[in-house]
Amino acid sequence: MCGIAGVVNWGNSEVLDRMTDIQAHRGPDDAGLWEHLFPDGTYVGLGSRRLAILDLSSSGHMPMTNEDGTIWITYNGEIYNFSELRQELVAKGHTFRSNTDTEVIVHLYEEEGTECVRRLNGMFAFAICDLRSSTLFLARDHFGIKPLYYAHRGRRFAFASEVKGLLELPEIRAELDLEALHQYMTFLWVPDPQTMFRDIYKLPAGHYAVFKDGNLRLVQYWNLTFPPDSADYTYTEAELVEEIRERISCSIRAQMISDVPLGAFLSAGLDSSSIVAIMAQAASEPVRTYTIAFPSNYRIGETTLDDSGVASRTARQFGCDHHEIVVEPKVAELIPKLVWHMDEPTADPAIITAYLVCQEARRTVTVLLSGVGGDELFAGYRKYYAYYWAQVYKRLPGPLRQFFIEPVVLGLPSLRGTSFKGMVRLAKKMVRSASLLPQDAFLMNCTYLDETQKTRLYSSDLRTRLNGKDPWQKHRAYFDHVNHADFLNQMLYLDIKTFMVSLSLTYNDKMSMASSVEVRVPFLNRELAEFVAWNVPPHLKLNGFLRPTTKYIFRKAMQGILPDEVLRQPKAGFGAPVDHWLAYDLREMVDDLLSEDRIQRRGYFQPGAVRQMIEEHRSGRQDWSMQIWQLLTLEIWLETFIAVGNS
């Protein structure tokens, strides 16, 4: 795992060194630079910060080259099928000087050029400079597990694992992209390939890029596909149970390969518990597991904090070396640091718990396995069955809905501090969106501020400058791409292309790298995902109607392996005590950073609307916790990255 950077005709060795050094947290074990000047005056440089995972010797130093020095690579990630590829390449006459997966990519590129990326199974972001053809070749893995940012101006090009690397470039100013701001206020994050920074982009998942003679060409080399809605599925339920169990087990075992200590996240949920159970079967020593808990007073008003006792009992059953991290963080001091590490404003408080777990785990391990991706493959979120509930709701007589049900539901208090908090929020979204087309209803259920609420919140100047831009444009395009599929698969595809890559995978990468920890995600094995997409019928992902079972086939596959209390668990993850923080630790910060005077000077929002939101939340009339967190995160990000006048 590493931090990488590179330039073509942009800056010099000093700039490249700064770009690489600012990402030192991603690779504290080694650093390297390589530069080349072509006869026509074109300058190219590659940089690397290395976190050594495979082959800890100096043979793994990067940037790395082939035998004759004509191909150079800087690389971030892990290739899980590198051993098989290496054997194939040795048989073809290639000579290896290390035991790294990095060198496998170099020789595979020699054999197959840009098509080499189709052979890789893993998580990766890399750049190869080919001196033979004077080209720079960049690639990002199938699901976008590893990040890769870039900027392009004429004959100048630069890339880095993190935006802050690009901000070291001359003539690059950190400027706010207003369209991205609109998307952030809609989703809590900015969908790929756009970023919150004007003229800085992410290479999309499953894409590679070729830069030559000032021209940048992007190519999609892979995409997850689904069968048509009318498809006939050939596997029986019993056969699927066996197949899925075996495929998941194989993926987890493959990702346990490491020359440094490794462990796993463990919440009370199905995904992380399954990973730990299979690791315990395969490991020769107790698996190190890590969960996070907060003091009991933090749980007041919260429904997202897991019962750490479930995780503890699960760890005990599998003989794990379990670490329960009970924390009471100084969150007001922590948030600015994490906003800097995230690069972009990301209004999910789970970034804090992810960081705290990784920070503690780094004392004993360098690699952690995570359950990210299980919900998107097997349908684990409530919003998926909200669609089916809405279909029933729409069959009720219109007057009954309009004059009785909707006023009651929309008039419900937030019920903060009860187990009904999340259901009330979902019910309100459902009645607001029930009259919409299925795609629009799902999009609304994925947002925290609807268009009417944003209109009230935005300043007149921001509304004018946005000029009616549609924040859902990319989402609609993704829906169009799979409009032949069952609607559940359409929802899963949309989340894989947006929510998972732009939020979940992004903060898992950034928060783990902030602690110099590598996080692996076994559910996002390309072959596993393709099998599930094409062979598991929708009703075996989400089974039942009024009380549907999420991840049905996966739960079946883990029967007899996991404890019953885990199999019965609703969705669980590492929650964060947002209400507690807003009421106590962050109250003064909220009043300062979201004061009417400061909001007025920024010019993006109506000061009165922001103050009303804060007062309604504090009085308990409405649950605006996520929206206040969103505004607070944005203001801290603006203070951190955007100079006054650059927005």
Say which residues have a Cβ less than 8 Å from residue 363's Cβ, sequence separation at least 6.
none
Residue 589 and residue 603 in contact, taking contact as beta carbons nearer than 8 Å: no
Q: Residue 128 pairs with which residues in a beta bridge?
A: 73, 137
Q: Measure CA 194 to chain center.
A: 14
Q: What is the dihedral of CA 498, 629, 179, 639, to 10 degrees?
A: -120
The DSSP letter of residue 286 is: P
Residue 609 token pair: 């609307």
Q: Which of 348, 302, 443 minimizes the C-alpha distance to 386?
A: 443
Say which residues have a Cβ less than 8 Å from residue 214's Cβ, sequence separation at least 6.
154, 155
Residue 375 and residue 523 in contact, taking contact as beta carbons nearer than 8 Å: no
The residue length of the chain stands at 647
Taking residue 161's Cβ as centre, other Cβ atoms within 10 Å add up to 29
Query: Which helix (DSSP H) or strand (DSSP E) does residue 282 occupy?
Result: helix 270-282
Q: Which of 300, 329, 299 minimizes the C-alpha distance to 308?
A: 299
Distances (CA, A) of 244 to 77, 221, 239, 404, 560: 25, 26, 9, 46, 14
Type of residue numbered 78:
E
Type of residue numbered 265:
F
116 is catalytic: no
Helix 308-317 with 270-282: angle, nearest 10 deg: 20
Distance CA 59, CA 55 (A): 7
Say which residues have a Cβ less than 8 Å from residue 258's Cβ, sequence separation at least 6.
53, 54, 366, 367
Distance CA 508, CA 522 (A): 14
Q: Which of 444, 529, 510 minimizes the C-alpha distance to 165?
A: 510
Phi then psi for residue 437, to 5 deg, are: -65, 155
Distance CA 38, CA 275 (A): 49
Residue 595 and residue 632 in contact, taking contact as beta carbons nearer than 8 Å: no
Taking residue 77's Cβ as centre, other Cβ atoms within 10 Å add up to 25
Name the active-site residue from 2, 129, 320, 446: 2
Type of residue numbered 135:
T
Distance CA 203, CA 127 (A): 12
Say which residues have a Cβ less than 8 Å from residue 542's Cβ, sequence separation at least 6.
379, 384, 385, 388, 488, 548, 549, 550, 552
Q: Which of 275, 282, 124 minimizes the C-alpha distance to 203?
A: 124
Taking residue 364's Cβ as centre, other Cβ atoms within 10 Å add up to 13
Q: Which residues are catalytic?
A: 2
